[in-house]
Amino acid sequence: MTPEVNFETMTEFKPTPELNQARNFEIEHRTPADRQPAFHFTPAVGWMNDPNGFSVYKKQVHLFYQYHPYSNQWGPMHWGHQVSKDLIVWKQKPAALAPDQPFDKDGCFSGSAVESEQGHVLMYTGCANGKQNQCLAIGDGQNYAKFEANPVLSQVNLPKGYSDVDFRDPKLWKTGTTWYLAAGILNPEKKGEVILFSSPNLKDWTFESILLSFDGTNGKMLECPDVFLLDDQPMLICSPQNMHAQGYEFHNGHNSVYIPGRFNQSLESSRFFQKEARQLDYGLDFYAPQTTLLEDGRRILIGWMSSWNSPILCSRQNWTSQMTLPRELSFKQGKLIQKPIREIENWYKETSHIDNVHLDGTFEDNRMSGRYLDATLQFSNPAHHFAIDLACDENHKTTFTIDASKGWMEMDRTYSGMEEDWVTVRKAALPESGVDQLRIIMDLYSVEIFVNQGEMVLSTVIPTLPQADRIVLHGQDENLTIDFHSMDVEKLHQEKLKNDLDET
């Protein structure tokens, strides 16, 4: 295959038997929409983990993902594929990649995508015979042809002493006429690094520098690196494996962190330092985030809302895992701010306002309920002792608690209907100024809590059956009142059901 292939007509594209099999299977076994969340990205069937190829191509947002269609457990990795115009309503596309070539026969691992003059460029990690190398495919937004000369980036491109055994997750971008690629790797001392390469043509790559090096004291392999400018600030996010808890930080073992660059220069000349690593999400379920830049200039992040050792819900359905709600990023006063993507506001159905709630024990109102909602709680002053029970009935609840006297907040899904030995509680340190606002996004099987307009986020999956939909407030702060504003997004559920019928 050569760059002269006409990717508009894809006359050179011929799906392999392996890819055809995956595409047919996901059509025949796709999950009905009424068994899935309304507006969180989920696979049609099977297992999903890392988001891949999050990109804009021909004015649509494309999201690929690590995918094993044939069971709800991890297996040989494919790339699933969906598209959206607003990052809320997603349309299924045929599976994009299958492990069907000598250079990726053991799996098409994580990677990225970029719009180019040649077409939609996918760069991914091909796994074969215990080696991990970077491979290229180009397509038209639906079908993707792999370069016969893959891998384009391999052992021969690495610095002396480095191995391609743990070398994966390429993030691709272009500056001027030069292509750049960041990837995670273990150095000769088995310590995690993010390294940078450059290329004039996507095929011939040269090692440039080390962007980030962990010293081995806390965290090993640095998975899924992403490098970008945010409000003119160089930023690197990645997912270090095997971290140790430090106070209320890094409790998940495999974590996701962000690191601001020290120099306000180009991405390619920036350096990042381990001691600046800060946790991205304080919930129970978050890993391998990836970002893209929208045409209007917003930098958007989406992450895998799961944990490697707690794939919630896999026991009673034919799909596993969901992505977080896409988040708009900004960098203010040295902090990464994450807010729910504003397009969700276009889908509000009804709004409930309950103002000046004074808590002296327990408060419940039938206007506070639902499993598809976007609710904001505004406190008159920082909450001291407060709790909210979500997805409640007589036997179930998921509780978020603030205890200022102890300096922490907590997510607890112990009573959410867990049937296996999953992690159920996660604590995080309160912001220095306390908590004066919570925004809670619920979508059937998940809870995302945005603290102080995105200063902190906690993402958690719950297995609670849909009929548990009450919300209960608890508190005893004498001087505290709460305004509770809830936006019903059931309309999104109805839209998903309609789309499901149209596709069928």
376 has which bridge partners?
Answer: 439, 485
DSSP sequence for 309-367: T--TTGGGSSEE--BPPPEEEEEETTEEEEEE-GGGGGG--EEEEEEEEEPSEEE--TT
Q: Per the residue annotation, which of 34, 50, 374, 421 is the catalytic one?
A: 50
| CA angle centred on 230, ends 229 and 235, rounded to 5° | 60
230 dihedral zone (left: phi>0; alpha: psi -120 to 50; beta):
beta
CA distances from 91 to 19, 83, 192 (A): 19, 5, 36
Helix (H, G, I), strand (E, B) or coil at 384: coil
How many whole angstroms from its chain centre is CA 9?
32
- What is the spatial distance between Cα 93 and Cα 90, in angstroms, rounded to a whole number? 9
- 335 token code pair: 């902090």
Contacts of 252 (CB under 8 A, 6+ apart): 243, 284, 286, 287, 307
Beta strands in 129-189 (DSSP E): 131-139, 144-146, 167-175, 178-186
> 70-98: b or e for each residue (b if 16 or more CB lie within 10 Å)?
bebebebbbbbbbbbeebbbbebbbbbbb
Distance CA 446, CA 305 (A): 9
Query: Pairing state of beta strands 90-97 and 78-84?
Result: antiparallel
Q: Give the phi and the psi of residue 278 in degrees, each rounded to 5.
A: -130, 145
Identify whether 50 is a catalytic site residue: yes
Sheet holding 46-57, edge to edge: 90-97, 78-84, 60-68, 46-57, 319-320
DSSP string, 284-300: SS-EEEEEEE-TTS-EE
Question: How many CB atoms sit inside 10 A of residue 21's CB?
Answer: 16
Closest CA to 188 of 169, 156, 219, 166: 166
Which residues are within 8 A (CB) of 276 and not within 5 positions of it... i.e. 6 or more apart?
Answer: 259, 260, 262
Determine which helix (DSSP H) or strand (DSSP E) holds 53, and give its type and residue range.
strand 46-57
Cite the active site residues.
Answer: 50
